[in-house]
Structure 1
Amino acid sequence: MPADRFSTATRLKALGEQAAARVYRARPPRRNRLTGRAALLALVMCSLVVALAYPTRQYVSQRSDIADQRHRARQAGAALERLREQQARWQDPEYVRQQARRHLHYVMPGETGYLVQDGSGTGSAPKGPRAAQRPWYENLWDAVDSADKR
């Protein structure tokens, strides 16, 4: 048997280094995680997000405006319906008489009109004790005459 110049430990070490060299040579060198394709894809995605942000915001804003306009249209429709009902009431002569009695203190022929005051002194009472005893239309004409004299 020829004498080995190297010991077993030295030979095992050399064999391990050769095996490791073969393994590391077979595996490709490690690259960065961010490849050129990935960077391009990220750039395209960011561009799309930026490009679509303004139109999306405008779309949401316009949808909100449309909802507001629909709400206003419903409110206007309800107000129109109330006005139509009020117009129909005013077409009824009995309702007109009732409103004239209530607001203008009209009395029908043969009736006696009374005006009850609570004594609080508030309200739109005519000026002077004599004016309180006259009909409303005389007070109105007096007010027009006094305004004409000014």
Structure 2
Amino acid sequence: MAAERDRFSTATRLRALGEQAAARVYRAQSRRLRRPPRRSRLTGRAAILALVLCSLIVALAYPLRQYIQQRTEIADLRRQAQEERQRVEDLRDAKARWQDPAYVEQQARERLQYVRPGEIGFLLPEAGDGDGEAGGDEEDDERLRTRGAPAPRPWYDNLWDGVDKADRPS
């Protein structure tokens, strides 16, 4: 009974618990020591791969930029060529209109104030000034010019101005 008593005594139990705890600590330390050390995620191969990728990006950046710039330039030139083709078509249409005698007569009447033999031509100031005052001839001429109406002057002056305007590039 004394052996049984030793078995259940506090000192014996504490000793047993201490031994068990020490064994657990020893096992945990030995496991930790047996485990291989953690390796860094950045290995030599990964570093070389990153270096190769960066050098490829740097090497391809300039040619890619040139390619994009050239594609933009090609698109601009195509747009300009299309605009020029449209302008040529418009000029062909205008040339065809000028081949028509009725159109030439209409333009001469509008631009040069031509009249047919036997007709009487009049130049009237546009309505809507609302002044009611009769100004001098110079003031009336100036008002007509500022509104875009043709100035009352000889037809040959208008013709010569048209030739001068056609001679200057627009």
Q: TM-score, normalised by structure 2?
A: 0.62
**Quick one: which amino acid aligns to residue 81 of structure 1?**
E
2:112 is the counterpart of 1:92: no
Given candidates 110, 113, 123, the residue that maps to 2:120 is 113
Structure 1 range deviating more: 20-29 or 63-72 = 20-29
Ranges in structure 2 where 5+ consecutive residues have no aligned partner: 4-14, 126-136, 146-150, 161-170
1:125 aligns with 2:125: no
Q: Which runs of no fewer than 5 residues in structure 1 stay unpaired?
A: 2-6, 127-134, 142-150
Contact 1:105–1:113 (Cα < 8 Å) also in 2: no
Describe the shift of the 1:108–1:74 C-alpha distance in structure 2 as closer, same or farther (beyond 3 A): same
2: distance between equivalents of 1:138 and 1:70?
Answer: 42
Paired residue for 1:71, among 79, 93, 98?
79
State the alpha-carbon separation in 2 of the partners of residues 138 and 37 from structure 1: 87
Q: TM-score, normalised by structure 1?
A: 0.69
CA contact (8 A) 1:101 1:107 kept: yes
1:121 counterpart SS class: helix
Q: Report deviation, 1:140.
A: 8.4
For these two proteins, the number of residue pairs brought into alignment is 129
Following superposition, the deviation at residue 24 of structure 1 comes to 2.3
Question: Identity rate of aligned residues, in percent?
Answer: 49
- Does 1:44 find its partner at 2:52? yes
Higher relative contact order (CA 8 A, sep 6+): 2
Measured on the aligned residues, the alpha-carbon RMSD in Å equals 3.1
- Report how far residue 17 of structure 1 moved: 3.6
| CA deviation map 1:87-141 (0-9, x unaligned) | 11011122112212221222333x2231313173233334xxxxxxxx5349989
